[in-house]
Structure 1
């Protein structure tokens, strides 16, 4: 029986190693096109010596990606990779044709001011663990090079600001390239990241369960209440939003049982199967709609509790910042980013799992991502009125061995154009003469023919 060691020492190690290299636990390889999923890798020439470092992210506009604050706090030079299922290490970033040609430099990061990257206090680094990064030039979502060099053309995903899409009982999907199951211990240099993008189906549960599980850590109750989504157990939709309820291919065993709860001819296995099948019929619903009755039962812990305890899927090391999404009709919507997990004494990742909610950080995201014409007036109000402050970091690549970012090249070109224009205008002034002006010619000296 796997036992949990939930003391401070284990969590300290989780925090430390998760930053040095931040998987999708109990998941499957993505077979379709998840065009909004991106990942961040550090530039090879970086002051931080992290190995196998990768963070997930979601493309939400032509210039911006939403990820975790922990991913951008202490690594200055980052590349964003989009439209590619394959994870490429920072050592191979210049040899893989997709990443060599299509990667983009990160030139700007923005995190809530209250965020604090403190390895020794999980309640510090998980507090408002969300960030927005800007790339050097806009993504061209129609660029055919993504299909020839990478996997597919990237695109944006909508950001959720509604409560109903993160209520208990909602089915979600989390994406990443991290470890399959193992939390890498200090001294282990093996790269456990997955080469292909993976996903795990997860189930949103009531926050009281997560608060109970993380109660040993000071102030985590407040962090969970204010900013987190809590998941545990396997969700019931696949990557395409289709219901995926069956565990296997076994035939039902209920044939001939009129009332299995009273019929003595039905064996115990049949009774157990009936109970499970009844539970499944009870939760059968559309991928993006959850009945109030179902939500109440999940919230109270009375629905499918056996499955929640035994079927664990979620996040693991190197999944930090990965998108948590659900389906809204025919479209996926971003509801959170991967943040916190626990580790057993056997060094395996386990839940319940915590994700930083987009809805709970809605004002911060809206004010950063919205254009000036669409922004609410409160975005320009003092921090005390809008309820948050931000820490913005502008990253210059001019002195980096990789060379300046595209925006810096464009700025330099504009400055050169302006300088050339000024020089031309000054020259043009010298070339203008009035009718009363005479041009003085230098007298020519006589030529000595001797």
Structure 2
């Protein structure tokens, strides 16, 4: 588990937070594309379960935060969550990010809590997305307060939190999402049920939340949210968007949990199957209502594997160079925080090569001059 933190020069975003993420390779993480689409420089922090509200000289961040130097996102992803009908940003809201140098999977960074580890991502089968499967999610999202139009500020949890979720079928998921989202849910989304700690009736009694009776599979009647109610909004991980929800509910996720992992299995058998994507909220109550949506890792497996293992051959080269992906590099060469280690190495190698070439050229010039002098003599 990692989190993304903006560089101090990023004035258009929160100074302490961007998104959650997860390590899938010695130098790569997965996160939400929406979290970083408008950020020029950011860090990836690993090895800690703590989040600090203020910019701080905390030892783990000072010693272990890595500069992001490269990202790859799908061409299908387009940020439009600031528009009224915010749909396109939910298509493949996933990004592969490369950091400046490798994570150390053998040694704890000084000041940090644990040794970072990578997790396998699902590139084998959709079986792991089967309804009824129990998964786990984690993040530093808000647990008590949430940002809104009245200026109340969101504050993350200072400790990493996790909870279990239960996956549900897409048919059941679509019953409680507006029809315009159904193609997206069918295409690349995993659904998990909402709060297990609060009954449907209690939620339906919330102000401005409308419900209707629906027949269940066994023929009995049960109450459901009226997904066509104008009071339900969809919120994203857009920075400084004060309408995003962030109230905690068992079985669901909170504001600032975006980009975090959905994992099934335990220990060495655990695999990453999704990334936290979106939920619905009620205007007045500002509570979150599900089903909760996650971007499917399996549906993006080719993008991920090609971005990480660039030597897989012509197919990957074609994908990375084609209209299917967008590649961006983060240049730290002239940044106040200094160049990235990879840029440092590149500059060193370039300088070393130039110096070597210069020496060879100078040596050859001296040799030629000596030969001319000998011939003249």
Which TM bucket (shorter chain)? Answer: 0.7 to 0.9
Q: Residues 340 and 411 (structure 1 numbering): CA distance in 2 closer, same or farther, change over 3 Å?
A: same
Task: Figure out how many residues of one structure are paired with residues of the other and give that number.
Answer: 327
Specify the alignment match of 2:68 in structure 1: 106
Specify the alignment match of 1:331 in structure 2: 269
Specify the alignment match of 2:342 in structure 1: 407
Q: Distance in 1 between matches of 2:301 and 2:156?
A: 31
Specify the alignment match of 2:182 in structure 1: 221
Specify the alignment match of 1:295 in structure 2: none
Q: Distance in 1 between matches of 2:217 and 2:191?
A: 14
Matched, 1:423 2:361: no
Q: Distance in 1 between matches of 2:372 and 2:73?
A: 64
Instruction: Give the number of the structure with larger relative contact order, counting CA–CA contacts within 8 Å between residues 6 or more apart.
Output: 1
8 Å contact from structure 1 (residues 57, 322) kept in 2: yes
C-alpha deviation, 1:125, in angstroms: 1.3
Q: Distance in 2 between matches of 1:402 and 1:329?
A: 37
1:378 to 303, 315, 321: 315
Q: Distance in 2 between matches of 1:50 and 1:212?
A: 35
- Deviations along 1:314-364, whole A, 9 cap, x unmatched? 112101100000006752110000010112331122321000010111221
C-alpha deviation, 1:85, in angstroms: 0.7
Q: Distance in 1 between matches of 2:314 and 2:355?
A: 40
8 Å contact from structure 1 (residues 43, 90) kept in 2: no
The 3-state SS of whatever aligns with 1:149 is coil
Following superposition of structure 1 onto structure 2, how do residues 233-248 of structure 1 map, counting pairs within 5 Å?
A: 233=194
RMSD in angstroms over aligned alpha carbons?
Answer: 2.9
Q: Residues 186 and 332 (structure 1 numbering): CA distance in 2 closer, same or farther, change over 3 Å?
A: same
Q: Distance in 2 between matches of 1:404 and 1:435?
A: 46
Following superposition of structure 1 onto structure 2, how do residues 284-323 of structure 1 map, counting pairs within 5 Å?
A: 312-323=250-261
Specify the alignment match of 2:204 in structure 1: none
- Structure 2 unmatched ranges of 5 or more: 198-215, 226-248
8 Å contact from structure 2 (residues 146, 153) kept in 1: no
The 3-state SS of whatever aligns with 2:114 is coil
Q: Distance in 2 between matches of 1:429 and 1:366?
A: 46
Q: Distance in 2 between matches of 1:151 and 1:346?
A: 37
Specify the alignment match of 2:294 in structure 1: 355
C-alpha deviation, 1:422, in angstroms: 2.0
1:140 to 104, 109, 115: 104
- Deviations along 1:238-294, whole A, 9 cap, x unmatched? xxxxxxxxx9xxxxxxxxxxxxxxxxxxxxxxxxxxxxxxxxxxxxxxxxxxxxxxx
Specify the alignment match of 2:18 in structure 1: 54
Specify the alignment match of 1:167 in structure 2: 130
- Deviations along 1:101-152, whole A, 9 cap, x unmatched? 11001011111011111122331111111110010111121234x2x41011
Q: Distance in 1 between matches of 2:133 and 2:313?
A: 29
The 3-state SS of whatever aligns with 1:419 is helix
- Deviations along 1:150-196, whole A, 9 cap, x unmatched? 01111110001211111100000001000115432134353420111
The 3-state SS of whatever aligns with 1:122 is coil
Following superposition of structure 1 onto structure 2, how do residues 56-205 of structure 1 map, counting pairs within 5 Å?
A: 56-89=20-53, 91-92=55-56, 95-118=57-80, 119-120=82-83, 121-144=85-108, 146=109, 148-161=110-123, 162-205=125-168
2:308 to 352, 369, 386: 369
8 Å contact from structure 2 (residues 307, 320) kept in 1: no
Q: Distance in 2 between matches of 1:130 and 1:348?
A: 25
8 Å contact from structure 1 (residues 42, 90) kept in 2: no
Runs of 4+ in 1 over 4 A off after TM superposition: 381-384
Q: Distance in 2 between matches of 1:351 and 1:363?
A: 29
Following superposition of structure 1 onto structure 2, how do residues 250-269 of structure 1 map, counting pairs within 5 Å?
A: none
C-alpha deviation, 1:369, in angstroms: 2.1
Bigger strand fraction: 2
Q: Residues 400 and 436 (structure 1 numbering): CA distance in 2 closer, same or farther, change over 3 Å?
A: closer
The 3-state SS of whatever aligns with 1:174 is strand
- Structure 1 unmatched ranges of 5 or more: 1-36, 236-246, 248-299, 441-450
TM-score, structure 1 as length reference: 0.67
C-alpha deviation, 1:383, in angstroms: 8.5
Larger Rg: 1
